[in-house]
Amino acid sequence: MKVKMLDLSREYKTYKKDYLNVIENVFNQGAFILGPIVEEFENDFAEYMNIKHVCGVGNGTDALRIALLACGIKKGDEVITTPFTFVATAETIAQTGAKVIFADIDEETLNIDPDEILKKITPQTKAILPVHLYGNPCDMDRIMEMSEKHNLIVIEDCAQSIGSLYKNKQTGSFGKCGCFSFFPTKNLGCAGDGGAIITNDEEINMKIRMLRAHGAAKKYVHRIEGFNSRLDAIHAAMLNFKLKLINSKNERRREIANIYNKIINNKIVRQKTQNNGQHVYHQFTIITEKRNELRDFLKKQNIDTAIHYSIPLHKQEVFSDYKNEIYPISEKAVNRVLSLPIYPELKDEETIYVAEKINDFFR
Ligand SMILES: Cc1ncc(COP(=O)(O)O)c(C=O)c1O
């Protein structure tokens, strides 16, 4: 049996008619960038997230960059984040002129460790940027407590965590801003690049709206330097359709995770779900010293796997200024994590096959 990490064509086959209908509707309306269909998505997404404002942008990376700038992050500031994430998290901090400060992760949840954040707070610290890695919520009680005590802005990277809850509250709705990616492989994906920023802050929302459209509050009236980072109507139309399915799709991911958890030998370590958190399994990740051997073995059984991520950010060439810094837990994790196939259309028999082959390897 061949098991792919992800096969988007299965989803397309199921919803082909619906996708073509909503896309046709965009052509009928003739508004392709922002406009009423994007507004409809922003309103529905706001309702889903239980938040006042949503602003659709070009991608998740821009969501982070624009949120940081809208929150006033600038040269001379320090922003604390995890070195165990996709590069966009830290790259966008650096692009504001602020200094990236890494804090190591928790060995079990693989998310930024609040105790490590605490050690990195200085008078220059302006913000904390936690990432809900693989869809596993961070310890938001501790992070929000710290932000209040030290007067720090929290900007959540929710690129992988749409629909994941901490104490029954949506990730992304704790901090000043929550930043989402609708990259096609994400739990809520569109047909290209897309992203959104959520906030309850009226003033920040106004700034975000200006920043995404050349700094203009009104057409051709430019108050600040901005970007061209707007959500396209075709993507918004698809997202609006898919938003109605997201809870059931995330539920199916949890079902698959349960199958893995039941069958895979208990001795094999998996990413631990944060206490009080509800994971949405953008990735299902196991942690083993024999990662590379296991990956090769599974490849021979026709099973695809992935490594998120194989290099911690402080060891990336782009962050060479940090190369002598040491984050032992992240450095261990990059050699041990292995993401298994997980997506709503993955079949039970495929999941069982993967789980059994993993057990065969460790037998
Ligand atoms: C944790 C994290 N942050 C940010 C991003 C950036 O999102 P995008 O690819 O939509 O720019 C991603 C996307 O892979 C991500 O996984």
d(CA 47, CA 37): 15
212: which strand partners? Answer: none
Q: Quick one: which of 123, 130, 119 has its CA closest to 76?
A: 123
pTM (predicted TM-score): 0.98
Q: How far is the CA of 23 from the centre of ligand 1 (A)?
A: 25
pLDDT at residue 125, as a whole number: 98
For CATH 3.90.1150.10, list the domain ranges present in the chain. 246-362
Among 86, 92, 212, 235, the mutation site with the greatest number of ligand 1 atoms within 8 A of its Cβ is 86
Task: Give the ligand 1 atom nearest the CA of 88.
Answer: 4
Task: Give the ligand 1 atom nearest the CA of 64.
Answer: 4
* Average predicted confidence (pLDDT) for the chain: 98
What is the residue with the minimal CA distance to atom 12 of ligand 1?
159
For CATH 3.40.640.10, list the domain ranges present in the chain. 8-243
Which tens digit of pLDDT belongs to each residue from 245-286? 999 999 999 999 999 999 999 999 999 999 999 999 999 999
Assess contact for 60 and 179: CB atoms under 8 A.
Answer: yes
Q: How far is CA 135 from the centre of its chain?
A: 7
CATH match for 8-243 among 2.60.120.10, 3.40.50.300, 3.40.640.10, 3.90.1300.10? 3.40.640.10
Task: Give the ligand 1 atom nearest the CA of 182.
Answer: 10
d(CA 72, CA 164): 27
Give the residues surrounding ligand 1 with Cβ less than 6 Å away: 59-61, 85-86, 88-89, 131, 157, 159-160, 181, 183, 193, 195
Which tens digit of pLDDT belongs to each residue from 196-230? 999 999 999 999 999 999 999 899 999 999 999 99
> pLDDT-based confidence at 329, cuts 50/70/90?
very high
CATH match for 246-362 among 3.40.430.10, 1.10.150.20, 3.90.1150.10, 3.40.50.1820? 3.90.1150.10
Q: Quick one: which of 221, 304, 308, 319 has its CA closest to 271?
A: 308
